[in-house]
Chains A and B, each alone.
Chain A
Amino acid sequence: MNNEVVLSMRGICMTFPGVKALNNVDFTLREGEIHALMGENGAGKSTLIKCLTGVNDFEKGEIFFGKDMHPIRNHSTLEAQKNGISTVYQEVNLCPNLSVAENLFIGREPMTKLGTINRKAMVNRAKELMKKLDIQVDVTQALENYSIALQQMIAIARAVDMECKVLILDEPTSSLDDKEVEKLFTLMRSLKDEGIGIIFVTHFLEQVYAVCDRITVLRNGQLVGEYEISDLPRLKLVAAMMGKDFDDLQSIKSKEDEAVSDEVLIEARGLSHVRKIKPFDLDIHKGEVVGLTGLLGSGRSELARCIYGADKAQTGTLKVNGKATKINAPIDAMKLGMGLLPDDRKAEGIVEDLSVRENIMLAMQSLSGVVKRIPMDKQMEITKKFIDLLEIKTPSTETLVKQLSGGNQQKVIIARWLATDPEFLILDEPTRGIDVGTKTEIQKLVVELARQGKSVIFISSEIEEMLRTCNRLAVLRDGEKVGELTEDLTQQSVMKVIAGGERS
């Protein structure tokens, strides 16, 4: 597939205070091509995109665009849009209070001869556009009434209607379930057929292989290489991203490590939370790692949050160490030795204007109470211990956590919970946004915790990761726990239970 090049970035250099984010990076995009842009945290993917769309003012390099490859330089997203480069971000950048039609056409509404907005024409054109892209919504309803997946597609529709030649999708699938991802892919393929070049920034390996034609890999701000998908098997891709060969992927857990005790730490019976998770039973033994698996939206996070009290359980009983307890708020769970690493670290994890030290100490301080402040020397000691243990890259303990990269922020939150020395830790997508090397470190940490007799609930979208660390898997579907797997822990058996039909 050798279409004409529509976008060529050459020798891009971008420096932020203290760090060279991009060093001589090239990027090429062809017409009618879906091109994945991949790299671990801090590789420079977002930075490169922002250079293209005018958010970043890069100091070196050139960008050529269009069939005639004329040089362009965008100074704002608006200018980029006018030039035919549109971006759809993970956080849907539309206005929730406006209707779908208005969101599609705001800023470029069809006008009447009087110079006012022709609302009828706007609604009709919106209906046409939705029909063309096979998105079934009522265009007069407010956007906030629809799911994130639909909102994203409406955002794409807007970009398409603005006749973009290059469409950038920045982590579009992170909040979508498999059906929604398929719908998105169908849309992407139809856009590809129309000759639009798509830059697909993502973490998900499977999706890259499902829909992309080419892959560009960045690492530490440098270009590693541009490959055709057929030339790049998975292992080679991961090696390119990590910079080394990866045998560790296989075993980090041996049979001797499995020290699951018979003592039940957590005994949950009939816990539920309306509209989030149907009543479930679950036993967790000491020294056990239980994985929660299922499709996105099946209730994995909700189940864990229900036990922890983040969403208060509305029915059922909970016994911890044999004693019946009632958890009304997270602090109650914490006092019983529990901890929860939420999956949305930005919304529920980091306190961005507080320092790294304060973020790490936050949970410990809660346990100690408002009045009893943990002395500063102890705070520094604990902070430094975890900075070393998890290799958190930060200029100092007092750096505001918002200045750290996403992966390091995640590590800070993990440190927060490890600092409380919990008996039972719930990790919801702990390795999301973290480079492959540290991913393994965290998995090893989980296994180590279990070996020490602690219990862990491990939630991840990557089944392989869970198979590597868990003793048992609980399977959820559509807001309900439908089964458990203790033997035959393979990808295939898990998929079977997720898909349905098997109950244990």
Chain B
Amino acid sequence: MIEMKKKSINSHTILLLITIGLFILLYAAGYFMYGFGDNAKGFEKLQTFLDIFRTNAALICIACGMTCVMLTGGIDISVGSLVAMDCMILSVGMENNGTSPTLLVPFVLLIGIVFGAVQGYLIGYLNIQPFIVTMGGMFFARGMTAMICTDQVNITVQNWFKEVAGLKVYMPFELGAVVNKRGVKMVPYINVPVLIALLCVILVFLMLRYTRTGRSMYAVGGNQQSAALMGLNTKRTKMITYILSSFLCSIGGILYCMNTMCGTTTQALGLEMKAISSAVIGGTLLTGGVGNVFGSFIGVLINGTINSIVSFNADLTRLGGTVPNVVSAFLLFVFIMLQAIFAKIRERKQ
């Protein structure tokens, strides 16, 4: 019995379209609430859109790494703590020790690689559950942050790190320029972290699609036993995945530090959950084998848009981080239900 299957629209494609649609919808809602006509409080400015990228550059990098980890069926909850540790290293290094960022930045990246290698080895070769291992990593990194310094350290020294962090990349052709009340032309800008984040998304996308390592990640997540029997080195693939995640996380840490210019022990709390939730909203399954980095990118933007909308409303802002969290949780709920429903439909078809 041989069959021909017509090109069916994948349920995964539909979910991605919904994700993109949701982002457009949310942004449109914000626009109508705070950017339209009389209500125009600034949401209509291109800068607001670009600010979402600026605030979330670090999270974008981290979400890319998290996507890869989730593709293999694992999880990495150490990312928030690693970011905090990186920021502390950078801050203390530059501010208290006067070390040049030219040394510190590669050092931080190296730490990311080593960190990921240790986690990757435990998960890939010793077969310990990713949740436990990365939880250990989380505790370790968070504690190390405090070991380095328990106070908040602000970066005040002048060096290329600070300059690059403050660098504004203006829109070409003065796109979206607005004249403010004082008659000064404000050209919308992004900054270097955003460019780095976008570069990461593209590179990770290419890796996942066009390299053997990337396809191995999908294979391991789809059916690890089969992947091994087909001759793939599943252990090495998993280890590489975690190295990549921590490396991207370190990049994210550097970007985060450029944003906050300080190191404290309570930084980036809960960042891992934001990354995971962005990936899930973007269509990545926690069970592995399904997902793409572009969806996670949109997931970050969705969360960012919610935060942005809240910031425009004085009453909601007063309630602090609670409202975005509740809305985030609700969105997560909706997407989880959608994934479950699609899964059930697919099951019934078989």
* A–B contact at 8 Å CB threshold (below): yes
For the complex, give the distance between the alpha carbons of A183 and B348 in Å: 27
Interface class of chain A by DSSP: loop
Task: Tell me which of B4, B10, B216, B289 contacts A106 (CB under 8 A).
Answer: B216
- A91 and B227 alpha carbons, distance in the complex (Å): 13
Q: Which chain B residues border A142 with CB–CB below 8 Å?
A: 10
Residues of B within 8 A of A147 (CB): 1, 3
The residue in chain B whose Cβ has the minimal distance to the Cβ of A158 is: B230
Partner of A97, one of B210, B212, B289: B289
The answer for the CA separation of A492 and B232 in the assembled complex, in Å, is 49
Within 8 A of A (CB), among B1-24: 1-5, 7-8, 10
Residues of A within 8 A of B222 (CB): 95-98
Please give, as numbers and ranges, the residues of chain A lying within 8 Å of B225 by CB-CB distance.
Answer: 93
Q: Which of A132-140, A191-199, A339-347, A420-428 is found at the contact surface with chain B?
A: A132-140
A173-205 contact mask (Cβ, 8 Å, vs B): 1 or 0: 000010110010000000000000000000000
- Is the Cβ of B2 less than 8 Å from the Cβ of A183? yes
User: Assuming the A-B contacts A107-B230, A117-B211, are A95 and B5 also in contact, with contact meaning beta carbons closer than 8 angstroms in the complex?
Assistant: no
Contacts of A324 in B (CB 8 A): none
Contacts A98-B222, A116-B211; is A106 near B7 (CB within 8 Å)?
Answer: no
0/1 per residue, B222-248, Cβ < 8 Å to A? Answer: 110111111110000000000000000
Contact: B218 with A95, CB < 8 Å? yes
Contacts of B289 in A (CB 8 A): 95-97
For residue A102, CB closer than 8 A to chain B, the reply is yes
A179 and B1 within 8 A (CB): yes
Q: Which one, A82, A106, A183, A275, contacts B232 given CB within 8 A?
A: A106
Tell whether, in the assembled complex, residue A149 and residue B1 are in contact, meaning their CB atoms are under 8 Å apart.
yes
B3–A137 touching, CB < 8 Å? yes
B300: Cβ under 8 A from any A Cβ = no
CA distance in complex: A230, B206 (Å): 58
Per the CB 8 Å criterion, the residue count for chain B at the interface is 31
A97 to B290, Cβ gap below 8 A? Answer: yes
B5 touches A93 (CB 8 A): no
Q: Which among A106, A108, A135 is the interface contact of B2 at CB below 8 angstroms?
A: A135
In contact, B215 and A141 (Cβ under 8 angstroms): no
B212-A109 in contact (CB<8A): yes
* CB-defined contacts of B228 to chain A, threshold 8 Å: 77
Tell whether A117 pairs with B210 under 8 Å between CB atoms, given A93-B226, A107-B231.
yes
Bound form: Cα–Cα A141–B6 in Å: 9
Most interface-central of B222, B229, B232 (chain A CB within 10 A): B229
For A77, what are the chain B residues with a Cβ–Cβ distance below 8 Å?
A: 228-229, 231
* Residues of B contacting A150 in the complex (Cβ-Cβ under 8 angstroms): 2-3
* Per-position 1/0 for B203-215, Cβ under 8 A of A: 0001001111001
How does the 8 Å CB contact mask read for A115-136 relative to B, with 1 for contact and 0 for none? 1110100000000000000011
Task: Find the A residue at minimum CB distance from B228.
Answer: A77
**B193 on the interface (CB 8 Å rule)?**
no
* Contact A107/B5 with A96-B222, A97-B289, A117-B215 known, Cβ cut-off 8 Å: no
> Does A368 belong to the interface (CB within 8 Å)?
no
Within the complex, what minimum Cβ distance (angstroms) separates B254 from chain A?
Answer: 27
B215 nearest CB across to chain A (Å): 6
A78 touches B231 (CB 8 A): yes
- Does B249 touch A at the CB level, under 8 Å? no
* B221 contacts chain A at the CB level, 8 A cutoff: yes
A81 to B290, alpha carbons, bound, how many Å? Answer: 28
Q: A78-B231, A94-B230 are in contact. Are A136 and B215 (CB under 8 A)?
A: no
- Known contacts A98-B215, A107-B231, A117-B215: does B2 contact A145 (CB below 8 Å)? no
CB pair A145 B218 closer than 8 Å: no
List 8 extra interface pairs beyond A106-B212, A136-B2, A136-B3, CB under 8 A.
A94-B226, A96-B289, A98-B215, A102-B215, A102-B219, A106-B216, A137-B4, A149-B1
- Write 5 A-B pairs (CB below 8 A) sorted by A numbering: A93-B226, A94-B230, A97-B218, A137-B5, A179-B1
Q: Which 8 pairs of residues, A with B, have the shortest CB-CB distance? A: A95-B222, A97-B222, A97-B289, A116-B210, A93-B226, A136-B2, A78-B231, A93-B229
Q: Which residues of A contact B (CB under 8 A)?
A: 77-78, 81-82, 87, 89, 92-98, 102-103, 106-109, 115-117, 119, 135-138, 141-142, 145-147, 149-150, 158, 177, 179-180, 183, 275
